[in-house]
Structure 1
Amino acid sequence: MKNTTQQVQQVPASQPAVSAGSMLTQVSSVLAFIIILILGAAWLARRFGFAPKRAGAKTLNIRASVTVGQRERVVIVDVEDARLVLGVTAQNITHLHTLPPKSPTDSEESPSPVAKADFSNMLQTLLKRPGKPQ
């Protein structure tokens, strides 16, 4: 028999490829990215809505609102074929009156040409200096 010496090589214990701190940082950064992605998607959904607005949809606009009490208001709402005067409280909404629909040609009280002329005349009289001919 041959006398051979077997040499036992000691292999040093292998170090983990990634340290615990590095792994924790990597997992937390991925989690933060996912949360930011969810928040961004929610913001976009809220900003642009889930469905586009229909062109033929009826409109509902609040034209005026007056506070009458601590939690009570009177509101004028424009709908397609009428204007509604509603009493709004914390518990319910009451229909008070129906007004005729406002025609598109009716504009908010536009200043009349007479008022413009009066203003220009008044401005010219204010700009006149005493003793200076016009």
Structure 2
Amino acid sequence: MSQTASEASATLDGMAGGEALMGMATLGKTAAALALILAIILGCSLLLRRLGGGGQGRGPRPRVVGSTSIGQRERVVIVEVEDTWLVLGVGSGRVTKLHELPAAEEAKAPAEAPGEPGDGFAARFARALRHNAGLDRPGRGGS
């Protein structure tokens, strides 16, 4: 009978190992399903951003033309909506419309950066580096 008891013990050990493997397999399947769902959510959000589905079709977006501080918490802000400038007073959690006027023509055209027309960022950055290094001063070697 001792042989039968050892066989039974081996069978029980085998079943316990099998149950542990079954539990690990279930945990792995659950983790894989969760990872798949997260990947789908991230993919959909990236696709929506790429297609521009977030803010398109809701009308023109306001653009801040300029602002100035008139106190610690108060500001006067000029906002462009379509072809109209709104002068707004902002402060203490309130926004008040002070004035409305047609947008200026020069503000509609993109402003060029100071320097030569068509001057890109790289050229302006290189010029600033040369200036800071003292290479563009008279009497120094430089371009």
Give TM-score, length-normalised by structure 1.
0.51
Task: In structure 2, list runs of 5 or more residues that go unmatched.
Answer: 1-10, 115-136
User: Hey, which of these two has a bigger chunk of helix by percent?
Assistant: 2
1:55-103 CA deviation, whole Å, 9 max, x = no partner?
A: xx54532111234444432211123333221012353211122344211
- Matching residue of 1:61: 63
Structure 1 counterpart of 2:48: 45
Cα 1:70–1:25 change in 2 (3 A) is farther
Distance 1:71 1:48 in 2: 38
Count of residue correspondences: 101
Q: Among residues 67, 73, 76, which one is paired with 1:74 in the alignment?
A: 76
How far did residue 127 of structure 1 move? Answer: 4.1
1:84 matched residue in structure 2:
86
2 CA distance for matches of 1:127 and 1:75?
43
Identity of aligned residues (%): 36
Q: Does structure 1 conserve the Cα–Cα contact (< 8 Å) formed by 2:79 and 2:85?
A: yes
Runs of 5+ in structure 1 lacking a partner?
Answer: 1-11, 112-125, 129-134
Instruction: For residues 26-70 of structure 1, give each alpha carbon's deviation from its aligned partner in whole angstroms, at most 9, with x where no partner exists.
Output: 21111122122113312332453327846xx54532111234444
Does the 8 Å contact 2:90/2:96 carry over to 1? yes
Change (3 A) 1:110 1:30: closer
Greater C-alpha Rg:
1
Aligned-residue CA RMSD in angstroms? 3.8
Q: Give the number of the structure with larger relative contact order, counting CA–CA contacts within 8 Å between residues 6 or more apart.
A: 1
Indicate conservation of the 8 Å contact 2:48/2:54, yes or no. no
- Within 2, Cα distance between the matches of 1:88 and 1:95? 9
